[in-house]
Amino acid sequence: MGQANGIQALDRSRQVIALCGDGGFNMLMSEFLTAVHHRLPVKVVVYNNASFGLIPLEAEASGLPAYMEGIRFPNPDFVALAAACGGHGFRAAQPGELRTAIQRALETDGPTIVDCVVAQDEMPNFPHLALDQVRNYAVAKVKEAILSFCGR
């Protein structure tokens, strides 16, 4: 989000779109206030899965079972947050709503958030996958199955 603001400040004639996970956006959501304050027409697409998607994957790649209760969290209402900051917000809770939400965001003047609800258990892509990570992931999944059976 901060980089998007910087790029947009350098060239307001081109549309800047920031693609953010909800966890990353939550850590830097004050940057949206910066965009509003400086009237930067940045569009922010938030992948909202209400969890830290990479954290359990990193744990499992190390062979540790993911502690799911610790990584799920309630997000703010990103549309209401955008309005509270003085920007605009749209939500796509179903795949069929996405095209309209993005189109409306692109047609709107000023900073805009598009809250895209995505599957909570969708596995993120790794940029590189080593063989030991695959083995550790399998070990972690076995541990998770045993812990769930034993009533973790």
Q: Would you kindly state where each structural domain of the chain is located, as residue ranges?
A: 2-149
Instruction: Tell me: pLDDT of 139 over 80.
Output: yes
Strand partners, 114: 45, 90
Q: Report helix angle 131-149 to 54-61, nearest 10.
A: 100
Q: Can you say whether the dihedral through the CA atoms of 141, 143, 147, 152 is positive or negative?
A: negative
CATH class assigned to 2-149: alpha beta
Query: What is the C-alpha separation between 79 and 114, in angstroms, rounded?
Result: 8
Give the pairing type, strands 43-48 and 88-92.
unpaired
Place of tokens 């920007």: 87
Query: What is the C-alpha separation between 84 and 68, in angstroms, rounded?
Result: 31
DSSP string of 58-90?
HHHHTTPPP-GGGTB-PPP-HHHHHHHHTSEEE
| Residue 130: strand, helix, or coil | coil
Q: Which tokens sit at 13?
A: 């004639």
The pLDDT assigned to 64 comes to 75
Task: Give every CB contact of residue 120 below 8 A, 6+ residues apart in sequence.
Answer: 49, 50, 51, 72
Task: Dump pLDDT digits (tens) for 31-90.
Answer: 999 999 999 999 999 999 887 767 777 777 778 777 666 666 788 999 999 999 999 999
The pLDDT assigned to 133 comes to 81
The pLDDT assigned to 100 comes to 98
Instruction: Tell me: pLDDT of 152 over 70.
Output: no
> How sure is the predictor about 140, in pLDDT bands with cuts at 50, 70 and 90?
confident
Nearest to 63 by CA among 130, 152, 150, 149: 130
| Residue 51: strand, helix, or coil | strand
